Amino acid sequence: MKRVKLDKIDLKILKNLQENGRITNVELAKGAGISAPPCLRRVRALEENGFIKGYHAEVDSAVLGYGVTVFAHVKLVSQAETDLNKFEDLISSWDRVRECWMLAGETDFLLKVVAHDWDDYQHFLTENLTAAPNVTSVKSSLAIRAAKDEVGVPIEV
């Protein structure tokens, strides 16, 4: 991907879209201080250049019956690239794993897992996660509440 220099207008567009993905192009253009047609062209260019990866709705997990969030610290027996890739492929098939981060240090992967309740998570833990090939240990941390849950990155305009 070629390096693209963002100007102040691009940054305003990104900031406003990150805060409200449903904003109309007219509102977005107004916030950026330009007219709608060039705003739409800029949004498309930001998408094509990889600055915007997609658009999503923020869904309330508890309303859908997922009352428990657990962070699972996973250690593997082997950290060979093929083994890491196999583990990543496996967890990609598990819908309840919402995030997966490979870490440096004692923990190889940190997983954010949602479950209906603690028993549901325990079933997932014993039937899937600890039974997975190459997994040597899992330490689970039950989330009590989210003190901050921001999406995206800070965008300074």
Q: What is the pLDDT of residues 106-143, one digit of tens each?
A: 999 999 999 999 999 999 999 999 999 999 999 999 99
Q: Is CATH 3.30.390.10 the right assignment for the domain spanning 68-142?
A: no
Instruction: For residue range 18-52, list pLDDT tens digits in order.
Output: 999 999 999 999 999 999 999 999 999 999 999 99
Q: How far apart are CA 82 and CA 84, in angstroms?
A: 5
Structure pTM?
Answer: 0.88
Domain positions in the chain: 8-48, 68-142
How far, in whole angstroms, is CA 17 from its chain's centroid?
A: 16
Tokens standing for 57? 């709705």
Sign of the C-alpha dihedral, residues 122, 125, 126, 127?
Answer: positive
Structural domain 8-48, CATH architecture: Orthogonal Bundle (1.10)
According to DSSP, the β-strands at 97-102 and 109-115 are antiparallel
Q: How far apart are CA 61 and CA 67, in angstroms?
A: 7
70 exposed, middle or buried (CB, 10 Å; 0-12, 13-18, 19+)?
A: buried
**What integer pLDDT is reported at residue 109 of this predicted model?**
98
How far, in whole angstroms, is CA 100 from its chain's centroid?
A: 8
